[in-house]
Structure 1
Amino acid sequence: MKLLDTLHRWTGGLIGLVLALLGLSGTILLYEHLWIGLPGSGDPLRGDLSTVAATTEKLMAMPGAQGIIFADEGFGLHRLRLGKEAGAYASQSGEIVSRWVSQWERPELWIFDFHHHLFAGDSGEWVIGIAGLVGTFFVVTGIILWWRTRKTFRFRLWPKRMSRPAIVMHHRDLGVIAAPLLLISVVTGTMMIFRPFALGVVAPFGPVAETAKALEPPKFKGGALADKPDYKAMLTEARRRFPDAEFRILSLPRKDGDPISLRMKQPAEWLPNGRTSIALDAATGKVLAARDALKLPSGAQAFNMAFPIHASKVGGWPWRILMTVSGLAMMMLGSFTVWSFWFKRPKPAKHPTKKAALAT
């Protein structure tokens, strides 16, 4: 038990700040639809085919346009991708509301980049994944260590005093209360980064090999991108195949031969951008393949629920409030851990002086 306690303290002291910042940034992102505050962001969704098709034709004709994240029920603006970091928000009638050339011009973009990549691309994603695994270790070991001192449990939102013993006691008791929510947050977050970990979590829902195959992006070969793709025809065919689905993401190919990708969300899907997808030949606009997310293996469908749970895209305000509690608890536990470990450590006991020893 002493070894477990040492591991818990040292890993917390080393990575607690990362977890605290992830908790804070994640909590802020839970409410981004409320604080972006651009004109039209609260407009009701106009998902009829004629409106979406006309707006898509208009926006994709803009120089440098590479794709669109369509408006949804929670956010009434389309987001247009215009380059590596450049982009724009547009109304559902196709009028540009805001443009940027760098993510640093939009707080929701750089906060998202920090929360997912620590501003370091794939390397930062690995750090976050490791932090998620460590966070899982924290929750499990914290419950085990708390059990020994359960009789001294006291619920406090803030330490009684800013002394190390009071902070440790607060950390222990707050941690066990928030443990279920923290476990959900760190497990679902880590699932989105480490595929082997995710496959292990969803293994009870179906064969791992079947799930892994279903999660691999399909590869198709088509022609080079046409000068004027017929987006209206593409969207019309997509709506014919999935009449009840919302249009979510349209992406142009990154290189010749890749298809145009269209993601859609059916009513029964939890994932906000859906996993129902259609691959279209970039030269002709003809359908190369279509994937119905509701017909994927059970393991793949379980995996697709990780992000909606993590980002509170399901469950309405009650679940968003619970995830807010989780994020704030992670921020408080992580920051107090670092402070108490590095700045409030007990001073080493003084050795008796030679004179005191002789006197004794």
Structure 2
Amino acid sequence: MKRTEFFRLRFWHRWLGLVAILPLITAALSGTLLVYKKPLIRLLVTHNAELPANFSQRNLLTQIDHIELILAERGAVRAKAPNKREPYWTITSADEQHLLLAVNDLTPYRSNLWLLDAFSFVHHLHTKLLLEKTGQRILLISGIFAIVLLISGVVLWWPGRKGFRWKFVKPWPFKLRSVLQLHRHSGIVVFPVVLIIALTGSIMLWQKLVNPLLNPIAMQQVDKGRKTTPVPTSASRALTAAQQQIPDGKLTYIRFPNDKNDFYRFRFRLPNEWHSNGRTSVNVYARSNRIEVTPRSDAVPWQYNLINQLYPLHSGYGLNGLYQLLILLGGISLAWLGFTGLVSYGRQKMR
């Protein structure tokens, strides 16, 4: 790289970092808090609840009609079925407030509910910066800047790669005169994980705000010649009809009929699926003998399967503990890179 090109790249690296630093640090720290959201809720709110050993899809059938009544009473929009990592029902209202219900008797958990409110706030901060669509746009632009910063940072580091020292990767002892070295050396070590976080987050926001990278695969109506459950008159019958379509799937989310939609939507997680909530859905219409099914997530083209992995790769949910730890360290590292970059810039301006 020519000397003028090097200085030009460093100029843009510095100024893009200054523009994006605040939303990136905010997203990094809030995302770090969310990585272990489920274990903390299980420890402090549901008191280390465990899913009963004999709990099965049959148990869901006996409880889902009661769950529908609870949703109607509270004006809620969806319910999440219990699983091993979340051994409780989760009821979510239109304003994203959560109610957790014990599996055995569907009684609400009452202790440490401040934690649910805190995580709801942190999630809103992480995904929208508390600014709704405007916040999402800021995060998308900042995420794209983060990708450019990571790649340009590697290019700027490369000429001096032989001077790499592990002592500059650890943040202690923190010395101002070494802050630029801390920024450079730690950045090259965490580059792969932070790049995955920034790239997956940016793609998910692009899908929502700009345009899906792939056209959605249309739901397919079940052939009426096949044996299906009669017209559903209750949530349990609708669930029975849905389970016939995905017999090896585990129920994750349920959306019930409302003023806008007259169908039940059931979402299933297939065996060995990375996505903790699954990506296969069944619509069962409440007023007609009609069932629609999305293509199974294990049978879609590889491009769609790759898009389906964005959320677990970004959050660590549904993946093993080692990857989840890497995501935690990646979030902390992103905030650290922003902090050290800002301090380094400040020292240069003070000279």
Q: TM-score range by the shorter chain?
A: 0.7 to 0.9
The yes-or-no answer on 1:179 pairing with 2:183 is: no
Aligned to 2:309: 305
* Aligned-pair Cα RMSD in Å: 2.9
CA distance in 2, matches of 1:109, 1:33: 12
Q: Aligned match of 2:299 in 276, 295, 300?
A: 295
Aligned to 2:347: 344
**Counterpart of 1:66 in structure 2: which amino acid?**
V
Q: Could you tell which deviates more after superposition, 325-334 or 49-58?
A: 49-58
Which structure has the larger Rg? 1
- Aligned with 1:291: secondary structure? coil
Aligned to 1:118: 129
Aligned to 2:154: 143
- Matched residue pairs, number? 327
Aligned to 1:192: 204
Q: Aligned match of 1:127 in 122, 138, 143?
A: 138
Q: Could you tell which deviates more after superposition, 36-45 or 2-11?
A: 36-45
**For 1:21-71, what per-residue CA distance to the aligned partner results, in whole angstroms no more than 9, with x for missing partners?**
222222221111221122265312665233112222112102023220112
**Counterpart of 1:21 in structure 2: which amino acid?**
T
Q: Is the 8 A contact 2:220 2:295 kept in 1?
A: no
Aligned to 2:255: 251
Aligned to 2:69: 61
CA distance in 2, matches of 1:258, 1:7: 52
CA distance in 1, matches of 2:211, 2:95: 31
Aligned to 2:286: 282
In structure 2, relative to structure 1, the CA distance for the partners of 1:149 and 1:254 (3 Å cut) is farther
In structure 2, relative to structure 1, the CA distance for the partners of 1:254 and 1:121 (3 Å cut) is farther
Q: Could you tell which deviates more after superposition, 306-315 or 168-177?
A: 306-315
Q: Aligned match of 2:335 in 321, 331, 334?
A: 331
**For 1:176-226, what per-residue CA distance to the aligned partner results, in whole angstroms no more than 9, with x for missing partners?**
1111111111111112111399999xxxxxxx7xx4232x7899xxxxxxx
The yes-or-no answer on 1:158 pairing with 2:171 is: yes
In structure 2, relative to structure 1, the CA distance for the partners of 1:323 and 1:85 (3 Å cut) is closer
Q: Is the 8 A contact 1:70 1:248 kept in 2?
A: yes
CA distance in 2, matches of 1:196, 1:74: 28
CA distance in 1, matches of 2:264, 2:276: 20
In structure 2, relative to structure 1, the CA distance for the partners of 1:217 and 1:175 (3 Å cut) is farther
**Counterpart of 2:171 in structure 1: which amino acid?**
W
Structure 2: segments with no counterpart, 5+ residues:
1-5, 222-231
CA distance in 2, matches of 1:199, 1:301: 18
CA distance in 2, matches of 1:259, 1:110: 31
Q: Is the 8 A contact 2:254 2:264 kept in 1?
A: yes
CA distance in 1, matches of 2:114, 2:286: 28
